[in-house]
Chains A and B, each alone.
Chain A
Amino acid sequence: MYDIYTETSLRYDPDRCINCRRCTQVCPHAVFTEGPDRAELARPSACMECGACALNCPVQAITVQSGVGCAWAMIAAALRGKDMDTESSCGGNDGSCCG
């Protein structure tokens, strides 16, 4: 209860994994850990959907709908009549929280 962050869009197909360990290098929250033969999805609920793992996986074993978890940007996009998922811009604008 009161933990809305348990579900993410991260999907992992271990059958495709070639154990290059790139995902374990780029994930800032240790969502993936090294296994004996392939990467293991150890902490899926810790995924912040940054997309680093999917972008760097050479065999497309990982998919995720990446984006920035920024309420300010998403609400601003909604107020401008834009799509919250694809048209919210975080950073680079006056008033944004990114620097």
Chain B
Amino acid sequence: MDGREETGPRCSCLPGPQAQSCCGSTGSAPAEEVRTATSRITLANRLDHLLARWGWNREGHRVEPGLYRLSRPAADSPVFASANYTLSFDALRSALVGVDAWILVLDTKGINVWCAAGKGTFGTDELVRRIRAAGLESVVSHRKIIVPQLGAPGIAAPEVARRSGFAVEYGPVRARDLPEYLKTHTAIPAMRRVEFPIADRIVLAPVELVLALPMFLAAIVLWYLAGPVAALAAASAILTGTVLFPILLPFVPTRDFSTKGLILGAIVALPFAFSFGTSPALPSWAAALSAVTVLLIMPAVVAYLALNFTGSSTFTSRTGVKKEIFRYVPVMAVMVVAGLLAGIALGASRLMGVI
């Protein structure tokens, strides 16, 4: 975070950057201090972003909630709302290079704007509370606050206006569009649309991978039970579901994540199935059963990981995901159980010296 805490009183009649004097204001005296932020992203900020992307200390990437001064804002400067997640806050302040503004940071418990809006922490109550706590009505002469569009699932603009007197203006989806938006305070349709380009999908892969780390234990166990190729197959399935799937998401046929995962898993499983199925060290029935085992388990594992990527995507609905769970998770379970039974039969045959 590049926000520095200001120790002096916020509301001051003294000249200076905070020259938006509250003298003569009808508002109540501000209760909270105003911190200072810049638009500069430091090396420490970038390291923080990297750690956040890798899921390190998930809830620890926070900035202090409250009002921030960016550059030299005056009473007529715009007010922006943000979350107290460093990536959200930093995206906003770094997009406002050369803009004098106020930033009102809501306490979203270190969660980004969109997810926090879905949870309600980036919500009407918190926004109204922060407006009051900051004494915003005595800081600025206007009554407008620019809220990121993706905060809208948590914000009832009519209620905010009624309770605080501040009108909510929804800014663009992406903070980087703010300079253009601020010229007219109008968002062109492209600024209102959420896309899910490959760059956005790739940055999510590390967290997916970290969350799936315990699954790599299965690969280690398989190394001892069934050899390095089986271990490699397990690791490949996990990497396919967590890294390859997000990258290839729009290119895999079907819209359902589960079927996308089944298709991708089957493709990745084919070389392994071929390897086991043509193994000269195994009798034909065992080779065939080994290939079937791979073709049952790998697609199911990839499909399950793919299904879990719905929460990271930008377009899946609750209704649709619920249907996916009820339609496809039983299929995945049957495939895994059948594959495990086949694998156990192969292992038992090996122990008994049959193969």
Given contacts A2-B259, A8-B320, A50-B118, whether A69 and B112 have CB atoms under 8 Å apart is: no
Report whether B317 and A92 are in contact in the complex, using a CB–CB cutoff of 8 Å: no
Pick from B156, B308, B319: contact of A65, CB below 8 A. B319
Given contacts A46-B315, A71-B308, A98-B112, 4 further A-B contacts (CB under 8 A): A26-B149, A69-B318, A85-B318, A96-B311
For the complex, give the distance between the alpha carbons of A50 and B313 in Å: 13
For the complex, give the distance between the alpha carbons of A98 and B55 in Å: 9
Report whether B321 and A69 are in contact in the complex, using a CB–CB cutoff of 8 Å: yes
For the complex, give the distance between the alpha carbons of A61 and B204 in Å: 36
B-side interface mostly:
helix
Report whether B61 and A72 are in contact in the complex, using a CB–CB cutoff of 8 Å: no
Report whether B329 and A75 are in contact in the complex, using a CB–CB cutoff of 8 Å: yes
Question: Does chain B have a CB within 8 A of A35?
Answer: no
Pick from B58, B85, B312, B317: contact of A49, CB below 8 A. B317
Question: Does chain A have a CB within 8 A of B189?
Answer: yes
For the complex, give the distance between the alpha carbons of A56 and B156 in Å: 5
Question: Does chain A have a CB within 8 A of B129?
Answer: no
A-side interface mostly:
loop
Q: Contacts of A52 on B, CB cut-off 8 Å?
A: 117, 152-153
Question: Does chain A have a CB within 8 A of B4?
Answer: no
Question: Does chain A have a CB within 8 A of B39?
Answer: no
For the complex, give the distance between the alpha carbons of A39 and B150 in Å: 20
Given contacts A3-B255, A30-B189, A52-B153, whether A68 and B324 have CB atoms under 8 Å apart is: no
Question: Does chain A have a CB within 8 A of B254?
Answer: yes
Report whether A9 and B319 are in contact in the complex, using a CB–CB cutoff of 8 Å: yes
Question: Does chain A have a CB within 8 A of B28?
Answer: no
Question: Does chain A have a CB within 8 A of B316?
Answer: yes
Question: Does chain B have a CB within 8 A of A17?
Answer: no
Report whether A73 and B58 are in contact in the complex, using a CB–CB cutoff of 8 Å: no
Given contacts A28-B173, A91-B116, A97-B308, whether A2 and B318 have CB atoms under 8 Å apart is: no
Count of residues in B whose CB is under 8 Å from the partner chain: 65
- Which residues of A are interface residues toward B (Cβ below 8 A)? 1-5, 7-9, 22, 24-30, 46-52, 55-56, 58, 65-75, 78, 84-85, 89-92, 94-99
Report whether A4 and B119 are in contact in the complex, using a CB–CB cutoff of 8 Å: no
Which residue of A has the minimal Cβ distance to B158?
A: A58
Question: Does chain A have a CB within 8 A of B99?
Answer: no
Report whether B255 and A92 are in contact in the complex, using a CB–CB cutoff of 8 Å: no
Q: Contacts of B313 on A, CB cut-off 8 Å?
A: 69
Report whether A97 and B149 are in contact in the complex, using a CB–CB cutoff of 8 Å: no
Q: Contacts of A97 on B, CB cut-off 8 Å?
A: 204, 207-208, 211, 308-309, 311-312
Given contacts A29-B315, A71-B311, A74-B322, whether A66 and B115 have CB atoms under 8 Å apart is: no
Report whether A98 and B111 are in contact in the complex, using a CB–CB cutoff of 8 Å: yes
User: How distant is A53 from chain B, measured CB to nearest CB, in Å?
Assistant: 8
Question: Does chain A have a CB within 8 A of B310?
Answer: yes
Report whether B311 and A73 are in contact in the complex, using a CB–CB cutoff of 8 Å: yes
Q: Mark B35-62, 1 if CB is under 8 A from A, else 0.
A: 0000000000000000011010011010
Which residue of A has the minimal Cβ distance to B61?
A: A99
User: How distant is B257 from chain A, measured CB to nearest CB, in Å?
Assistant: 8
Q: Mark B208-239, 1 if CB is under 8 A from A, else 0.
A: 10010000000000000000000000000000
Which residue of A has the minimal Cβ distance to B324?
A: A4
For the complex, give the distance between the alpha carbons of A39 and B307 in Å: 33
Which residue of B has the minimal Cβ distance to A2?
A: B254
Q: Contacts of A75 on B, CB cut-off 8 Å?
A: 308, 325, 329
Instruction: From A48, A70, A71, A96, name the one whose CB has the most chain B CB atoms within 10 angstroms.
Output: A71
Q: Contacts of A58 on B, CB cut-off 8 Å?
A: 158
Pick from A25, A50, A99: contact of B111, CB below 8 A. A99
For the complex, give the distance between the alpha carbons of A70 and B321 in Å: 7
Question: Does chain A have a CB within 8 A of B163?
Answer: no
For the complex, give the distance between the alpha carbons of A69 and B153 in Å: 13
Question: Does chain A have a CB within 8 A of B314?
Answer: yes
Question: Does chain A have a CB within 8 A of B323?
Answer: yes
Q: Contacts of B115 on A, CB cut-off 8 Å?
A: 68, 90-92, 98-99
Which residue of A has the minimal Cβ distance to B161?
A: A58
Report whether A74 and B153 are in contact in the complex, using a CB–CB cutoff of 8 Å: no
Question: Does chain A have a CB within 8 A of B245?
Answer: no
